[in-house]
Copies of this chain bind each other. A is one copy, B any other.
């Protein structure tokens, strides 16, 4: 089983991430400081390391440099929001990708899979990280260009609409609650009078053709939220 090492001093986050990754079929170990992380990284064999930049004691870059000195194991950096340090430094010293906090666990998984795929393909570490296209049925969403296509034809979405569709697509086949949508799309708590999400769902539906008798993409789950329906008998593997 693929083993992943998470180095992050945020214990709670480690727990969440760990749980999620395990549900996705990885084995996860977490340590909460750089020294310990380095130690583990050296003695054990992980397929990938998730490394927080901001660590007590030895910072993430230090750790990365030391890891790189002895091993080509793929490393995915987590950076705090609004943090100055960015790709310039991170990728230059040999990270394989990075993800700004806060992030969606699905996004993390997608990136981990992308990195693993790249490195497995024989590509040496530190190749440029290109976000993946999310495809479900006849809908295609590209985070890198923010272009959405419906049956191949580009659909013009606003920022919020794009974010909403992305959130639904990344969890295609599962119900996404209004709470989660509000949090991830609008960056705010959901309150019962807030009809904003509904409004945007309405608009997205219109734009991706959920109006005619066509098989609809976004179904309402009364009292809970929305679900992007999967085309029959296809599992939610975006990788």
Contacts and interface: CB of A to CB of B under 8 A. Distances in A.
A117 B93 contact: yes
Interface string A97-114: 000000000110110011
A86 interface: yes
Contacts of A221: 146, 159
Contacts of A110: 88-89, 92
Q: How many copies does the complex hold?
A: 2
A220 interface: yes
21 contacts: A24-B61, A25-B61, A82-B179, A82-B180, A84-B183, A86-B171, A87-B170, A88-B106, A88-B107, A89-B106, A92-B110, A94-B117, A130-B230, A131-B174, A133-B232, A144-B173, A144-B232, A146-B219, A159-B220, A159-B223, A159-B224
Interface of A: 24-25, 61-62, 65, 82, 84-89, 92-94, 106-107, 109-110, 113-114, 117, 123, 127-128, 130-131, 133, 142-147, 158-160, 170-174, 177, 179-180, 183-184, 187, 219-224, 227, 229-232, 238-239
Q: Top 6 A-B pairs ranked by shortest CB distance?
A: A144-B173, A159-B222, A144-B230, A145-B229, A82-B179, A92-B110
Nearest to A58: B25
Q: Secondary structure of the A side of the interface?
A: loop
Given A158-B222, A159-B222, A86 B170 contact: yes
Contacts of A107: 88
A176 to B, nearest CB: 9
Nearest to A85: B106
Contacts of A239: 123, 127-128
Nearest to A176: B86
A238 to B, nearest CB: 5
Given A25-B62, A173-B131, A183-B84, A93 B106 contact: no
A82 B130 CA distance: 30
A197 to B, nearest CB: 14
A220 B144 CA distance: 13
A88 to B, nearest CB: 5
Contacts of A223: 159, 187
Contact of A86 (B180, B187, B227, B229): B180
